[in-house]
Amino acid sequence: MNPYESPKTPVDAPVPAFWLSFPWRQILAVLSGSLGVGALMTMPFLQFYFLMSQEAEQPRTYFATPADVQIILIVGRHLLFGVMQVLAAYCWLRAHWWLAVLFNLAGLALPLLWRELLAIMM
C-alpha cells in the first residue's frame, strides 16, 4: 500500500515519461567511449605514418627538430582527446553527469588549445 494514499483519494503511481525511461546515459557513454577508443586505436597508425614520412624526408639527426616537436604535439593531442572521451564514457555510466560533461568539453577544448600552442611554437 502506498503510504501517501488516503482511503478517500487513492494516489496512482506516476507514469514515467518516455524521455525519463529511455537510457540516455548509456547512449552518451557509447558515443563518448567509441570516440575515445577510436582515437586511441588510431594512435599507432598515426605514429607509424609520421615516422615513415619523417624518414623519407630527411637524414637521421640526434637532436629534436621542429618537425619532431610537431609530431610529438600532434600525437599528444590525439592521446589527450582519447583519454578524455574514455573518462567521459565511464562517468556517463556511473551517473556522474557533471563530470562526464566536463570531460567531454575538455576532450574537445584542450586539443583546440593544443593547436594554438602548436601554432605559437612553430
In this predicted structure, which of 2-6, 37-41, 93-97, 103-107 has the lowest mean pLDDT? Answer: 2-6
Using the predicted structure, report yes or no on whether residue 76 has a pLDDT greater than 80.
yes
3 state SS of 11: coil
With cut-offs at 50, 70 and 90, classify the pLDDT of residue 36: very high
Work out the pLDDT band at 31, boundaries 50, 70, 90. very high
At residue 34 the predicted structure's pLDDT band, cuts being 50, 70 and 90, is very high
Better-predicted residue by pLDDT, 58 or 115: 115
State the virtual CA torsion across 106, 111, 116, 120 in degrees, nearest 10.
Answer: 120
Task: Give the single-character DSSP code of 42.
Answer: T
User: Contact, 88 vs 104, CB < 8 A?
Assistant: yes
Q: Give the mean model confidence (pLDDT) for residues 26-48.
A: 88
